[in-house]
Structure 1
Amino acid sequence: MRKKVLSMALIAALMIVTMFSVAGCGQKSSSGDADKGNGQTSEQLASSGNEKIDQLYKEVANLQGEEALKFFEGLKSKGLNDAEILKFFIDLPLSQANKQIAQIYKDEGFEMYSKSYPKGETYQDFEWTKGSGTKITGPFSKNDLKLAFTDYIPLPEGPVGDANKKYNIGVVFHGFSHPWLINWADSAKWEADKHSNVQLNVQDAEFDNNKWASIMDTFIAQKVDGILVWPMVEAPTGPPVTRALEAGIPVVSVDRTTGSKDITSRITGNFPANGAQAGMYAVWKLAQEGDLNAKAIMLRKPLGSTADAVRTGHFLKVLSYFPGIEILKSYHDTDSREEAFTNAQSALQAFPDVDMFFGTGDHEALAALEAAKMANRLNSRKDGKKIIFLSIDDSKEAVTQVKDGLFEVNTPYTPLIADIGMRVLLNIVSKTGEMPQDVITPNIPMVTQKGDVIFGMQTQTPEQWYEYTFGPALK
């Protein structure tokens, strides 16, 4: 994959809008040494909207370490089903038990991101069933793919709206060079191609926010009927979206959110479920090993991106109940595997003891695995245990690493959701149907090698999810 390099001006802008990155500011304490009663002390605990779950938050608020673990292990016996267990962890309040993690959470403004990110029920209570979806050949990538959510807000094949009208749709994203993003574009074009009176103009901003804004302004000048967008980061994308809206052009975002609160619609994925499940697995795995103490490196997506902030925040919330977990350092990249590899090498050189790598994208976990192998550090933990790799985003390569036992877990996030965004946009521009501002995609259970039950929730095996993975077939 081609290396993407941000301009110094963009880096400066990102630093302004996203607080600052943690660099191992806390001291490790064992779960046995922490003071009792230093758990969640806020009088206003998070609300899940589920009375049964909210009651459990009151019970877990001041638990930590082994006591918190025991509580998590008993969720099934407390009457929660699999979906409710995941919801419990997604909306879990931050604990003060791990002071370093609580401080990181505060310093990086993760609560703000969590509150602003759309969560809730799917549109018209859509439920995804395993096996559903549509097999396609990616129009751009030529990859064999299976779109999971083609039954979500379906549009019949053929002309939309006025059959005598041509609907001109602009699409701006970053990344024909990126395996996740080109498949994102595949799903958008596949849906548009089903409708004979839809004309699509797909533009790649090549990880340059200034170019992204310029493309938006060109679409506005062309008076397109609607615009579908993938924004890399939030703040710089707000003004261009606002200009389009002021020109009367509806804008729909898919995946990450823009800096505009007035955007017409936004299709959001399961970022909270990704981070929460990575945290669930990390704690469960440490418990299986018999030691809740661990040192972690976080390899993260760009500063200011929704994917990074929401996933990391939800991951840290789960870990915050365990004082023996230390975050050694965070490293950011610009959605580049090459940069992630350099960051992983730096981490391994800087820290002689690393128990786990958490990546907010699978390219970071893959880079960390490669770096650990090259440094002969793969089995460098105490007693020769293997480093734990927590991956998010479900490429064929990453899910295969789970199957082979090199990654412990993958929490899927399919790029094949831009077809939903295209259908929402076409409903809007053709006045076929009214759409809400927020369309939320279903949560997907994590993938583990043996389909383990994690805190009472059934996970998937690599074989069960593999048909929905993205990217080219492995050689």
Structure 2
Amino acid sequence: MSATARSRRTRTLTRIGALTAVAALAVGCTSNTPAEESNGGGDDGGTTAVSANDDPGETVTIGFSGPEADHGWLAAINSAAREEADKYEDIEFDIAEGTNDPSAQIAHIESFISKGVDAIVLLPTDGAALTEAATEAMQAGIPVVNVDREFSNEFAARVTILGDNYGMGVSAGTYACQLVEENDLGDAVIAEIAGIDSLPLTQDRSQGFEDALSECGQDVDRRVAAEFTVESGEAAASNLLQAANEIDIIWNHDDDQGVGVKAAFENADRDEFFFIGGAGSANAMRWIEAGEMEATVLYPPTQAADGVRLARLLAQDKGLSDLVQVEVPRRIVLNAPVVTADNVEQYMPLGFES
């Protein structure tokens, strides 16, 4: 990193209060005092909140079907789900082999229904393709927790847990605006390295970035797209650098492809810009600690782990004691905080290996 970039970085590593909230919703969090007995004036026989939801309860079987671990974030999804289940002695975890084949996942769900599991947690390869099978599970009385990729019918899931792709773009753009203001960059040259352009998640991230930049009178001057892989990241970043002699800020959507992006920066001997990443890999967090990267925007790899916690509560007929409405929510969207040198230690445990 050049002396100029290091000087910029020192002056600008301030916390964005609204964007550095805890990334993963603490769905298992409960009060330390016993819940009061119902006085009969409210819920008539429905689910009631309990204290100490993490205390052992009735043993339940949770079926889990996730993706093939061909990407660092996806591997983290699977491992986090398994690790969360292992924390509870009252969970019997039936985990299917990861796959990118919708037909295989349909077979997983059919198997779970046949076994009579108590709940299913599913990150679908294709939400639309898995909707019918998930609906069949719901109709069989098995609550389904849908993770990350939505079904095409809301009746296919009891709970949907999502990362915030649009929010990622907003977080990255808001942080870029802060950099522009604090460093008096004026009409800054801002570049974007997107993921696969045909995917709605990429479109949402780009739209959020554009919308946030417009709030401070900035826009995206250069944009290229990669494919969420190291090789494509390096190729896209190389093309970007060849097309632009001077760049002030670069946002890369995905920290896995960011390995290739960073290699392209090093090959071109370019470091005049602030480098912002996306997703929250362990590599990115180590680069932030080393002063080689400005920030990354988290896309929580805890979604399936949160799904396991919620599935356990649903199967045990428990609610969330930290909510006035004690039922488990139908929809949860996790935050997309900005991770900087100021707070990287807080988020390092969530970093996944690329």
Equivalent residue letter for 2:68? G
User: Bigger shift: 273-282 or 206-215?
Assistant: 206-215
**Residue 413 in structure 1 maps to residue 299 in structure 2:** yes
> For residues 268-283 of structure 1, what are the structure 2 equivalents within 5 Å?
268-283=162-177
**Residue 328 in structure 1 maps to residue 222 in structure 2:** yes
Equivalent residue letter for 2:56? G
> What TM-score does the superposition give when structure 2 sets the normalisation length?
0.73
1:434-459 deviations in Å (ceiling 9; x for gaps): 42202344x4642223x3xxxxxxxx
**Residue 471 in structure 1 maps to residue 352 in structure 2:** yes
Deviation at 1:368, TM superposition (A): 1.2
Contact 2:162 2:333 in 1 (8 A): yes
Larger RCO: 1 or 2 (CA < 8 Å, sep 6+): 2
Deviation at 1:352, TM superposition (A): 5.7
Deviation at 1:426, TM superposition (A): 1.6
Look up the match of 1:155: 53
Equivalent residue letter for 2:187? L
**Residue 318 in structure 1 maps to residue 212 in structure 2:** yes
Sequence identity percentage: 23
Equivalent residue letter for 1:156? D
Equivalent residue letter for 2:213? L
> For residues 265-414 of structure 1, what are the structure 2 equivalents within 5 Å?
265-287=159-181, 288-300=183-195, 303-304=198-199, 306=201, 308-321=202-215, 325-333=219-227, 335-349=228-242, 355-374=248-267, 376-379=268-271, 386-414=272-300
Deviation at 1:332, TM superposition (A): 4.5
Look up the match of 2:40: none
Q: Distance in 2 between matches of 1:356 and 1:209?
A: 39
Deviation at 1:370, TM superposition (A): 1.2
Equivalent residue letter for 1:358? W
Look up the match of 2:131: 238
1:31-64 deviations in Å (ceiling 9; x for gaps): xxxxxxxxxxxxxxxxxxxxxxxxxxxxxxxxxx
Q: Distance in 2 between matches of 1:435 and 1:300?
A: 33
1:157-188 deviations in Å (ceiling 9; x for gaps): 4343xx5xxx3321111133433333322332
Q: Distance in 2 between matches of 1:348 and 1:207?
A: 34
Aligned CA distance change for structure 1 residues 203 and 378 (closer, same or farther; 3 Å): farther
Equivalent residue letter for 1:463? E
Deviation at 1:223, TM superposition (A): 3.8
Q: Distance in 1 between matches of 2:231 and 2:94?
A: 30
Contact 1:176 1:204 in 2 (8 A): no
Q: Distance in 2 between matches of 1:421 and 1:373?
A: 39
Q: Distance in 2 between matches of 1:229 and 1:446?
A: 27
Q: Distance in 2 between matches of 1:350 and 1:243?
A: 52
Name the SS for the 1:325 alignment partner: coil
> What TM-score does the superposition give when structure 1 sets the normalisation length?
0.56
Equivalent residue letter for 2:351? F
Look up the match of 2:311: 425
Q: Distance in 2 between matches of 1:342 and 1:217?
A: 42
Q: Distance in 2 between matches of 1:242 and 1:302?
A: 30
Contact 1:369 1:389 in 2 (8 A): no
Look up the match of 1:34: none
User: Bigger shift: 268-277 or 346-355?
Assistant: 346-355
Contact 1:187 1:419 in 2 (8 A): yes
Q: Which ranges of structure 2 fall in alignment gaps of 5 or more residues?
A: 1-15, 31-51, 320-326
Contact 1:169 1:226 in 2 (8 A): yes
Q: Distance in 2 between matches of 1:151 and 1:344?
A: 41
Aligned CA distance change for structure 1 residues 395 and 223 (closer, same or farther; 3 Å): same
Deviation at 1:407, TM superposition (A): 1.7
Contact 2:285 2:351 in 1 (8 A): no
Q: Distance in 1 between matches of 2:159 and 2:57?
A: 22
How many residues align structurally?
Answer: 309
User: Bigger shift: 230-239 or 347-356?
Assistant: 347-356
Contact 1:365 1:390 in 2 (8 A): no
1:403-445 deviations in Å (ceiling 9; x for gaps): 223222112333134332112112222323442202344x464
Q: Distance in 1 between matches of 2:248 and 2:125?
A: 30
Equivalent residue letter for 1:370? A
Deviation at 1:464, TM superposition (A): 4.2
Deviation at 1:316, TM superposition (A): 1.6
Equivalent residue letter for 2:352? G
> For residues 68-217 of structure 1, what are the structure 2 equivalents within 5 Å?
82-83=17-18, 86=19, 149=26, 151-152=28-29, 155-160=53-58, 167-217=60-110
Aligned CA distance change for structure 1 residues 390 and 211 (closer, same or farther; 3 Å): farther
Q: Which ranges of structure 1 fall in alignment gaps of 5 or more residues?
A: 1-80, 88-126, 131-146, 380-385, 452-459
Name the SS for the 1:326 alignment partner: coil
1:172-207 deviations in Å (ceiling 9; x for gaps): 111334333333223322332344453222224433
